[in-house]
Structure 1
Amino acid sequence: MASKGDLTKARLAESMLELIQTSGYSGTGLNAVIEHAGAPKGSVYFHFPDGKEGLGVAAVDLAAKQFQALIAETAASAGSAGGAARAAIETLATIVGESDFRLGCPVSVVTLEMGAESERLRQACATAFESWIAPTAALLEGSGLKTAEAHSLATVVVSMIEGAVIVSRAMKSTQPLLSAADVVAELVDQRIQAVGATR
């Protein structure tokens, strides 16, 4: 069972993550995080001695785990790699749309805002993206693609999703994400079918 301190630390990271998505990293102050989390004032520096940067890393790590869970869930329920990709993107489209296009990918937000300013945050973002690419690549490899090709295609898939989230938010429409879902599913299935045809 998690201790009271662990629960407070987790709540702070969750609040930071949510606020990054709506206000950006630079627009999120520690006081806002404390208020949003309903945490004691001294709790941020107790749990995150390096302050906002450490809290930002925790939020990026949390976002990485959440999307990893989505990938695992869709992979388990979909009948094909293309179907899994489509299901994951359609789920993201629903999340973005239901938030009135206020929620996006916090990892891309932090990358764009802080990637050139903080090496620690840039590395956390790079690790998050790779944590999404790796299981996607494993799914593709399990469908017959060679390791290098699977990783390359997985990188393209994750990159397309990230771009589609940004365009959907700008246009206040889920169509860019739904279009990406169609294209990604078709691309993945075509590559896997091509491998099968050469065997």
Structure 2
Amino acid sequence: MPTPPKHRQAIVTAAATLFRRRGYAGTGLNDIVARSGAPKGSLYHYFPAGKAAIGEAAVRQAGALVERTLERLAAEAPDAGALMVSYCGWLAHWMGQSGWRDGCPIATTLLETAGEEEAIRAAGQAVMAGWVEVVAGRLVADGHEPEAAGRLAGFGVSALEGALLRARVERDAGPILEAAEMLGRLYRL
């Protein structure tokens, strides 16, 4: 059985954190090396295509974490409205703990790169489609028609992204909690 990559995970995790907080352009390879503790040569070993490949991996990893969280909450919540209220409460707490330095784990990277880095854009598209699928699945389970559920879920993801941006700018959980309340109402039949 092959041994797992020694530094790859640390590099991706460090990059995801730094990109979320400082932005893709504001994060250099030396920053990633310093935060990850990996030797600089590991960057080139695991990511020979450079920073864009690290960005793609960071978006996929961070997006998968959000999807797993949504799946867990969807399984625990009595309905899709409660899922959104629970998730938004978690987001508000997490952002507040970070001193409003954190926001959506992929938005900053995607806003800076989607127009120029196709692999990162495609990773972001796939990740967000996964989020929408989880929420839509819960809406369908609650009795919504599949097409309407997909649109409602897509709207919910968009609303949350805007709420996260407002919360970060305003340094206040209010926008997230407002989104939670409104999505909770909208999603209940």
Please give the range of the TM-score, normalised by the shorter of the 2 chains.
over 0.9
> Percent same amino acid at aligned positions?
33
Q: Distance in 1 between matches of 2:35 and 2:93?
A: 24
Tell me which residue corresponds to 1:122. 121
1:61-88 superposed Cα distances (whole Å, 9 cap, x missing partner): 0111110111012112211111011101
CA distance in 2, matches of 1:115, 1:80: 33
What is the alpha-carbon distance in structure 1 between the residues aligned to residue 110 and residue 2 of structure 2? 31
Cα displacement (A) at 1:4: 5.0
**Size of the alignment, in residue pairs?**
189
- Aligned-partner residue type, residue 84 of structure 2: A
Give, in whole Å, the separation in 2 of the partners of 1:91 and 1:139: 18
Corresponding position: 1:3 with 2:3? yes
Q: Are the aligned partners of 1:110 and 1:125 in contact in 2 as well (CA < 8 Å)? A: no
Tell me which stretches of 4 or more aligned residues in structure 1 moved more than 4 Å.
none
- How much is the aligned-residue C-alpha RMSD, in angstroms? 1.3
Residue matched to 1:23: 22
- C-alpha separation in 2, matches of 1:33 and 1:167: 27
The equivalent residue for 1:174 is 173
Counterpart residue type for residue 12 of structure 2:
A
Shift of 1:106: 3.1
5 Å-filtered alignment, 1:32-181, equals: 32-181=31-180
Stretches of structure 2 lacking an aligned partner (at least 5 in a row) = none
- Distance in 2 (CA, whole Å) between partners of 1:75 and 1:114 is 31
Q: How far 1:123 moved relative to its partner?
A: 1.2
Q: Which has the higher contact order (CA 8 A, sep 6+)?
A: 2
Structure 2 residue identity aligned to 1:141: V
Residues of 1 paired with 2:45 and 2:186: CA distance? 48
C-alpha deviation, 1:129, in angstroms: 0.8
